[in-house]
Chains A and B, each alone.
Chain A
């Protein structure tokens, strides 16, 4: 098996041909999310879907494109600026009683979070499966930043997610 089927509910027009063609019943689910455990990756659902709502997701993802140290460094500096702005916007929102300023600052916090996420993706943390992400989890398990750090969550993630580019 090289891939598995995922369904975009925004595109699904409930023609239900995927139910008709699926050999294992993986597409026949209560919550409309294709049952990854039953899916054999045969792809007939994606081929038969009239609204193009099903995509075959590769099981093994390729490694992220190489990032130079300089690119990583400038992107990191920018995500740090966005993180500081998120923090400042949340603080201003918390303290103000004005409705307009509150909404603007909450929107600023959200916007800065989205930009920081995007910058960190491009700085090497695109995939949960990447060795960068896995190394970070390992280092947090070995050296927790404080005693109440949720080490168990980090350990569980290492069990849940296989590495796609580890040697």
Chain B
């Protein structure tokens, strides 16, 4: 039997391994991307999903919040940086930081809130993007859907592990973020290439500890 990792596509083929997949301990993780065993799908069993329900569009979707505008302008700052227009990069950053501040409302937030967002993104949001981008043949939207869906599954997986293992999960482990796609990797060193977007390891950044 063959099993594939939902996040990075790593293939576990029982005929090539000493231990059959089913007998691996629950603590076993994907050797490429560190996703949990639960993120693997049995290949033979994977059947076509039924077509998604038609998506209705809310008018509110066209209004951008302060948080979105902050990301929109930090993205344009990045664009200006790549085009070597440092003066524009600086002004876009001013706008991005202003909106980031405007977005903060100190409203209470919990791990459970995050888990709910993640589950909604995985079970509805990305499926909606997939069906609409496929219908409208939008290659760019399909690409962002593939990366985002995988990264979001990894985030959900990491959150579940933190919830069950607590601080032990990250006790002697570094946390790395891929600055190209947002993939998060727990490990001493970053992976050689990003399991999701395949960018090289130097594009990963280590999450530093809180400054004393």
Q: Could you tell me the distance between the alpha carbons of A36 and B133 in the complex, rounded to whole angstroms?
A: 38
What residues on B are CB-neighbors of A98 within 8 Å?
167
Residues of B in contact (CB 8 Å), total 88
Structural contact, A150 and B136, CB atoms closer than 8 A:
no
Structural contact, A81 and B109, CB atoms closer than 8 A:
no
Structural contact, A160 and B85, CB atoms closer than 8 A:
yes
Which of A70, A89, A118 is within 8 Å of B132, CB to CB?
A70
Structural contact, B184 and A107, CB atoms closer than 8 A:
yes
What residues on B are CB-neighbors of A149 within 8 Å?
98
What residues on A are CB-neighbors of B87 within 8 Å?
156, 160
Q: When A33-B84, A73-B62, A120-B68 are in contact, do A150 and B132 touch as well, CB less than 8 Å?
A: no
Name which residue of chain A comes closest to B74, CB basis: A117
Q: When A102-B209, A103-B207 are in contact, do A121 and B75 touch as well, CB less than 8 Å?
A: yes
Structural contact, B61 and A76, CB atoms closer than 8 A:
yes
What residues on A are CB-neighbors of B27 within 8 Å?
none
Query: Interface readout for B151-177 with A: 1 if CB under 8 Å, 0 if not?
Result: 110010011001000110111000111
Structural contact, A125 and B76, CB atoms closer than 8 A:
yes
What residues on A are CB-neighbors of B66 within 8 Å?
145
Which of B71, B113, B176 is within 8 Å of A88, CB to CB?
B113
Would you call A119 an interface residue if the criterion is a C-beta within 8 Å of the partner chain's C-beta atoms?
yes
What residues on A are CB-neighbors of B128 within 8 Å?
74, 77
Interface hits, B102-127 → A, CB 8 Å: 102-111, 113-114, 117-118, 120-121, 125-126
What residues on B are CB-neighbors of A65 within 8 Å?
138-140
Would you call B20 an interface residue if the criterion is a C-beta within 8 Å of the partner chain's C-beta atoms?
no
Would you call A163 an interface residue if the criterion is a C-beta within 8 Å of the partner chain's C-beta atoms?
no
Name which residue of chain A comes closest to B120, CB basis: A81
Query: Interface readout for B191-212 with A: 1 if CB under 8 Å, 0 if not?
Result: 0000000000010010111100
Residues of A in contact (CB 8 Å), total 73
Q: Could you tell me the distance between the alpha carbons of A161 and B148 in the complex, rounded to whole angstroms?
A: 30
Q: When A76-B61, A160-B88 are in contact, do A117 and B80 touch as well, CB less than 8 Å?
A: no
What residues on B are CB-neighbors of A103 within 8 Å?
170, 175, 207-209
Interface hits, A120-152 → B, CB 8 Å: 120-122, 125-128, 133, 136, 140, 145-146, 149-150
Q: When A76-B61, A88-B117 are in contact, do A117 and B141 touch as well, CB less than 8 Å?
A: no
Q: Could you tell me the distance between the alpha carbons of A78 and B55 in the complex, rounded to whole angstroms?
A: 13
The distance from the CB of B59 to the nearest CB of chain A, in whole angstroms, is 9
Q: When A70-B55, A111-B182 are in contact, do A157 and B64 touch as well, CB less than 8 Å?
A: no
Would you call A84 an interface residue if the criterion is a C-beta within 8 Å of the partner chain's C-beta atoms?
yes
The distance from the CB of A159 to the nearest CB of chain B, in whole angstroms, is 10
Q: Could you tell me the distance between the alpha carbons of A110 and B207 in the complex, rounded to whole angstroms?
A: 9
Q: Could you tell me the distance between the alpha carbons of A145 and B99 in the complex, rounded to whole angstroms?
A: 10
A–B Cβ pairs within 8 angstroms, 18 of them: A6-B84, A10-B202, A70-B136, A74-B133, A76-B64, A81-B121, A83-B70, A86-B71, A87-B104, A91-B104, A91-B107, A103-B208, A110-B205, A113-B71, A115-B147, A115-B152, A118-B144, A121-B140
| 5 nearest A-B pairs in the assembled complex, by CB-CB distance | A83-B67, A100-B170, A88-B109, A114-B182, A116-B71
